[in-house]
Amino acid sequence: MEKFLNLGSQPLANSYIKKSNLKLKEKKFKLQVGFNKKNYLVSIINTVPKEKMFNNEYPYKSSESKTMRKSFKDLAKKIKKKYKPNFIIEIGSNDGAFLKNFSKNIAVGVEPCKNLARLTVKKKYKTFSEYWSIKLAKKITKIKKADLVYSANTLSHIKKLDEIFNAINYSLSRNGILILEDPSLLSCIKNVAYDQFYCEHIYVFSTIALKNVLKKFDLEIFDIQNTKTHGGSNRYFIKKKINNIYKIKNSVRAEISKELKFGLHKISTYKKFSLKVKESKKKLLKIFLKAKIKNLNIIGYGATAKSCTVLNYCQVGGNFIDYFYDTTSYKIGRYLPGSKILIKKYKKLDKKKVDIAFLGAWNFKEEIFKKEKNFIKKGGKFITHVPIPQII
Ligand code: TYD
C-alpha cells in the first residue's frame, strides 16, 4: 500500500465530548490514506478497533435525515416491484430507516450498536446486535437463505472485507442479490472531499476496487446507480456469477470507464489529489482569517463526522467558529472532538446573530439552503470547502 495523504493526528470522529469530560485527554490516531496498486483499494492506514467506534453510544441515526428517509423509501419501492424478496438481511440496520419499508416477517437487521438495535427491536424487527460474521450468517440463514442482502454506508466501515463478503456469499440464495451503497471514490477525489476520510471510513470504494474484491467470491456487479447521498455515492447491484437472470448493464461499463479515464487506477492521481488537499487547507484558512478580521459572526452548520477531519486537519477551532448548530439530539450540548466547539440545538439562522455558517453538512447543501432561504435573502453566507473553499 502506498501512502498518499496525511491528515495529521485526529480524534475519533463520532466521539462527541460531554462538558464534564472536556478536560480529559482524547484518544487520537494518525489519519493517513493509502492506495493499493494491486487491487486499487483506497483505505486509511491506521485503523481504530471497531469496539471503540461502534458501541452502545453511536450518535448517527439515519431516520433523522429527510434525505436518507426518502432515499430508502424510494429504493424499497423499487426493490419490492423488481425483485419481490421473501427474505431480506440488512447489515448495519442503524435505527431501521430502511427496514421499516418492509414487512416484519421478511426483513431482519444486523446492528452491533446496541442503542440503535434497541430501536428496531422496539419496532418489532428481528435484530441481531452483533458484528457481521460468517458465524452470524450461518445463524441467520439456518432455515433459508436470503434473496436480498442490503447494506448502506456500512461495509466501508469494516476492515476485513474478505470475511464480510464470504459471509454475504454464504447468506445469499443462488439467485439472491446484494445491494451495496457507499460514498463514491470518484466523487470524493473530484470534489477534493478529503473529509470522507475519518476513523470509521476505512475504505472509500471505487467500482474498479470493489470488482476486484468481489471476484474472489464469484460475485459480480450487474448494475450501478449514482446517488446524491453522502456527497455522491454509488449503489451497486451484485449477483453470484452463476445467476444468469440479470445481465450486466451498461451502467457498470460506463462507471468503470469514467473511473479509468479519471485515473483511479494510478497512484499519480492520488498524489495530485493530496496536493489539492493541501491547497484546500490554505484557502479555507484564508477565508476564515478574512472573515474574522472583519469581525463577522461565524458558526458551524451540521456537526458531521466529516467536519471533524476538516477542522482538525485545518486547525480551525473556537478561534474561528463560535458554536455549531445540529439537529441530532445526542450531539446537542456536547463538543466536537478535537476542536472542542460547542454544539447547540438547531435554530433557523438569524442574520442578526450570524453572518456566516460553515457547512459541516455540505452533503445536504440543497436541503439546508431551502431551509435557510430567509437568512440567504438577508445577505447571510455560507462557507464550504467542497469542491474548493469559498463563500457562497
Ligand atoms: P451526515 O451527513 O451523516 O455526516 P457524517 O456521516 O459526516 O456524520 O450528518 C449530517 C449532520 O448534519 C447530522 O448531525 C445532522 C446535521 N444536520 C443539521 O443539523 N441540519 C440539517 O438541516 C441537516 C440536513 C443536517
* DSSP letter for each residue of 236-277: EEEEETT--SSPPPHHHHHHHHHHHHHTTT-HHHHHHHHHHH
Q: How far is the CA of 361 from the centre of ligand 1 (A)?
A: 5
Q: How far is the CA of 324 from the centre of ligand 1 (A)?
A: 11
Closest atom, ligand 1, to C-alpha of 67: 24
Tell me the pLDDT of the chain (392 aa) as tens digits: 999 999 999 999 999 999 999 999 999 999 999 999 999 999 999 999 999 999 898 988 999 888 889 999 999 999 999 999 999 999 999 999 999 999 999 999 999 999 999 999 999 999 999 999 999 999 999 999 999 999 999 999 999 999 999 999 999 999 999 999 999 999 999 999 999 999 999 999 999 999 999 999 999 999 999 999 999 999 999 999 999 999 999 999 999 999 999 999 999 999 999 999 999 999 999 999 999 999 999 999 999 999 999 999 999 999 999 999 999 999 999 999 999 999 999 999 999 999 999 999 999 999 899 999 999 999 999 999 999 999 99
Kindly report the protein residue whose alpha carbon is nearest to atom 3 of ligand 1.
Answer: 304
Closest atom, ligand 1, to C-alpha of 327: 19
Kindly report the protein residue whose alpha carbon is nearest to atom 1 of ligand 1.
Answer: 304
Kindly report the protein residue whose alpha carbon is nearest to atom 12 of ligand 1.
Answer: 302
Q: Which residues, in sequence order, are bridge partners of residue 183?
A: 233
Instruction: Copy the grid coordinates of residue 204.
Output: 472509500
For Cα atoms 335, 383, 290, give the angle at the middle one, nearest 5 degrees. 100
Question: Rounded to an integer, what distance in angstroms lies between the CA atom of residue 129 and that of residue 149?
Answer: 17
pLDDT at 66: 85
Taking CB atoms and a 6 Å cutoff, what residues make up the pocket around ligand 1?
60, 302-306, 325-328, 331, 346, 361, 363-364, 367-368, 371
Ligand 1 mutation target, pool 15, 228, 301, 304, most atoms within 8 A of CB: 304
Closest atom, ligand 1, to C-alpha of 368: 22
pLDDT at 60: 87
Q: How far is the CA of 1 from the centre of ligand 1 (A)?
A: 32
Residue 238, Cα to own-chain centre: how many angstroms?
A: 20
The kind and range of the H/E element at 345 are strand 343-345
Fold of 42-264: Rossmann fold (3.40.50)
* 301 secondary structure, DSSP code: E
Say if strands 219-227 and 298-301 run parallel, antiparallel, or are unpaired: unpaired
Per CATH, domain 2-35+268-391 is 3.40.50.12780: no
Q: Report helix, strand or coil for 287.
A: helix
Q: How far is the CA of 90 from the centre of ligand 1 (A)?
A: 22
Closest atom, ligand 1, to C-alpha of 307: 7
Decide: pTM greater than 0.75.
yes
Q: How far is the CA of 178 from the centre of ligand 1 (A)?
A: 27
Closest atom, ligand 1, to C-alpha of 66: 24
- Let me know if the fold of 2-35+268-391 is the same as that of 42-264: yes
Q: How many CA atoms lie within 13 A of 146 on its CB side?
A: 27
pLDDT at 161: 96
Structural domain boundaries of the chain?
2-35+268-391, 42-264
Q: How far is the CA of 249 from the centre of ligand 1 (A)?
A: 33
Q: How many CA atoms lie within 13 A of 273 on its CB side?
A: 28
